[in-house]
Amino acid sequence: PPPAPRSQRALYNKVVTIQDLPPCYPHDYWFVYQYVPDMEWCHVCPMEPRGLFGPNSKRNGRPRWRLVPEGEAREIDVSARRCTPVK
């Protein structure tokens, strides 16, 4: 089946990138903490690289990502149209 239009995609608990983000937000990846489908709005938390996967993983050498600890970075609200899920 063809992909659902943006307005019909569920962004709950997804990692996303955000389009047209000002440079004051240095993070590349964001976690959708809350998604309001009828308003097409997301509350997102920034993620940071933290370590690498080990040699026994098929992801060997790739970065592990985690949420930035509370209080160290700003959570933001953005339109769901600006969010692109990471595969």
Q: Give the pLDDT confidence of 27-39 residue by residue, as tens digits.
A: 999 999 999 999 9
Give the predicted TM-score (pTM) of the model: 0.85
CA distance 37 to 17: 18
Nearest to 44 by CA among 31, 55, 57: 31
Q: Where does the pLDDT of residue 1 fall: very low under 50, low under 70, confident under 90, or very high at 90 and above?
A: low
C-alpha span between 80 and 31 (Å, rounded): 12
